[in-house]
Structure 1
Amino acid sequence: MTTAASLDTTAVTAEPGGLVEVPLQVRNSGSTVEEYRFEVVGQAAAWATVEPTSLSLFPDSTGTAVLTLSPPRSSEVPAGDVPFGVRVVPTSAPDTVVVPEGIVTVLPFAEITGELVPRGFDGAWRGHTDVAVDNRGNIPVTVRLAAQGDSSRVRLRFSRETVELPPGAAELSRLTARPARRLWRGAPVVHPFQVVATPTGEVPHAPVPLDGTYQQDAILPRWLPRALMATAAAVVALAIVWFALLRPVVRSAARAETEKQVAAVLSPSPKASGTAGGGGSSGASAGAGGTGQDAAAGGSPSSGAAAGSTAGSTGRGTGGAGSTGTGGSGGAGDPRSAQAGVTDSVGGDPTSDTVYRVPAGQVFDLTDLVVQNPQGDSGTVVIASGTRTLLRLALQNFRDQDYHFVTPIVVPAGGRVTVTVTCSQVGKPVGGPTPAQCDESVLVGGTLRQAPSASPSPTAS
Structure 2
Amino acid sequence: MSVTASFQPDRISAAPGETAALSLHLQNNTDAERMVTLRAGGGLAAQTVLQTETIYLDPNEHFEVPVIVDASASLAAGSHSCVIEILDDNETSSAAATIEIDSTEAWTATLEPQRSKSATAGRHKVAIENAGNVPLMVELAATSAPEVATELAAPVVNIDPGKTARVEFRVAPHERFWNGPSIEHPFSLAVAGSNGDRSELDGIFEQGPRLRPWLLPAAAGTVAALLLGTLAWYTVLKPSVLDAAREDATEQDVVQQAELDDQVTAIEAAAEESAELPLGDPTDLRLSVDAAPATTSTEEFDFDVSGVGRILSISDVIFQNPTGAVGRVELLRDGDVLLDQEMANFRDLDFHLVAPLQVDSGSSISLRVTCETPGPGTETCEAAATVTGFVDDI
Partner of 2:83: 85
Partner of 1:5: 5
Output the CA distance in 2 between the equivalents of 1:225 and 1:61: 95
Does 2:208 match 1:217?
yes
Partner of 1:99: 94
How far residue 161 of structure 1 moved from its aligned partner, in angstroms, is 1.8
Counterpart contact for 2:20–2:71, Cα < 8 Å: no
How far residue 18 of structure 1 moved from its aligned partner, in angstroms, is 0.8
Partner of 1:391: none
- How many corresponding residue pairs? 257
Output the CA distance in 2 between the equivalents of 1:52 and 1:67: 9
How far residue 144 of structure 1 moved from its aligned partner, in angstroms, is 1.9
Counterpart contact for 1:12–1:104, Cα < 8 Å: yes
Equivalent of residue 236 in structure 1, options 213, 223, 227? 227
Output the CA distance in 1 between the equivalents of 2:211 and 2:109: 35
How far residue 205 of structure 1 moved from its aligned partner, in angstroms, is 5.8
After superposition, what is the alpha-carbon deviation per residue over 1:298-317, rounded to whole angstroms, capped at 9, x for unaligned?
xxxxxxxxxxxxxxxxxxxx
Partner of 1:165: 159
Partner of 1:154: 148
Partner of 1:117: 112
How far residue 251 of structure 1 moved from its aligned partner, in angstroms, is 5.4
After superposition, what is the alpha-carbon deviation per residue over 1:301-350, rounded to whole angstroms, capped at 9, x for unaligned?
xxxxxxxxxxxxxxxxxxxxxxxxxxxxxxxxxxxxxxxxxxxxxxxxxx
What SS does structure 2 have at the residue aligned with 1:100?
Answer: strand
Does 2:24 match 1:24?
yes
* Amino acid corresponding to residue 76 of structure 2 in structure 1: P
* Amino acid corresponding to residue 47 of structure 2 in structure 1: W
* Amino acid corresponding to residue 30 of structure 1 in structure 2: T
* Amino acid corresponding to residue 119 of structure 1 in structure 2: Q
* Amino acid corresponding to residue 27 of structure 1 in structure 2: Q
Output the CA distance in 2 between the equivalents of 1:256 and 1:126: 67
Partner of 1:308: none
Please give the TM-score of this superposition, normalised by the length of structure 1: 0.48
Q: Summarize the alignment of residues 238-317 of structure 1 with structure 2, pairs less than 5 Å apart.
A: 238-249=229-240
Does 2:193 match 1:195?
no
Output the CA distance in 2 between the equivalents of 1:206 and 1:8: 39
Please give the TM-score of this superposition, normalised by the length of structure 2: 0.55
Percent identity among equivalent residues?
24
How far residue 44 of structure 1 moved from its aligned partner, in angstroms, is 0.8
* Amino acid corresponding to residue 234 of structure 2 in structure 1: F
Cα distance, 1:132–1:258 mapped onto 2, change above 3 Å: farther
Of 118-127 and 241-250, more deviation after overlay is shown by 241-250
How far residue 17 of structure 1 moved from its aligned partner, in angstroms, is 0.7
Q: CA RMSD in A?
A: 3.4
Counterpart contact for 2:15–2:102, Cα < 8 Å: yes
Counterpart contact for 1:13–1:104, Cα < 8 Å: yes
Counterpart contact for 1:183–1:216, Cα < 8 Å: no
Choose 1 or 2 for highest CA Rg: 1
Structure 1 or 2: larger helix share? 1
Partner of 1:307: none
Cα distance, 1:170–1:112 mapped onto 2, change above 3 Å: same
Higher RCO structure (Cα 8 Å, ≥6 apart): 2
Counterpart contact for 1:110–1:205, Cα < 8 Å: no
What SS does structure 2 have at the residue aligned with 1:97?
Answer: strand
* Amino acid corresponding to residue 89 of structure 1 in structure 2: L
Counterpart contact for 2:133–2:162, Cα < 8 Å: yes
How far residue 46 of structure 1 moved from its aligned partner, in angstroms, is 0.8
Counterpart contact for 1:124–1:216, Cα < 8 Å: yes
Of 48-57 and 12-21, more deviation after overlay is shown by 48-57
What SS does structure 1 have at the residue aligned with 2:92?
Answer: coil
